[in-house]
Amino acid sequence: MADLAGISTRTLRYYESFGLLAPQRINSSGYRIYGQVQVDRLQIILFFRELGMSLAAIRGILTSDTFESGQALREHRSLLLDRKKQLDRLLANVEKTIEMQEGRTTMTDSEKFEGLSQKMIDENEKKYGKEIRSRYGDAAVDSSNDKLKKMGKEDHIRLEALTAELNETLKAACEQGDPTSVLAQKACELHKKWLMYYWTKYSKENHLALTEGYVCDPRFTAYYDQIAPGSAVFLRDAMRKYLAD
Burial class (CB in 10 A: 0-12, 13-18, 19+), 14: middle
The CATH number assigned to the domain holding 160 equals: 1.10.490.50
- Within 10 Å of residue 124's Cβ, how many Cβ atoms? 16
Q: Which domain holds residue 187?
A: 152-245
Q: Would you state the pLDDT for residue 82?
A: 74
Closest CA to 212 of 190, 232, 192: 232
Tell whether 55 and 73 lie within a shared domain: no
Q: 3-state DSSP call for residue 110? A: helix
pLDDT digits (tens, 9 = 90+) for 34-57: 999 999 999 989 988 887 778 888
85 vs 233 pLDDT, higher one: 233
What percentage of residues in the chain have a pLDDT greater than 70? 87
pLDDT digits (tens, 9 = 90+) for 16-38: 999 999 999 999 999 999 999 99
Domain boundary among 12, 27, 62: 62
- Tell me how many domains the chain contains: 3
Tell whether 141 and 195 lie within a shared domain: no
Q: At 238, is the pLDDT very low, low, confident or very high (cuts 50, 70, 90)?
A: very high
Number of residues in the chain: 245
Q: 3-state DSSP call for residue 107? A: coil
Is the pTM higher than 0.75? Answer: no
For 90-109, b/e burial (b = at least 16 CB within 10 A) is: eeebeebeeeeeeeeeeeee
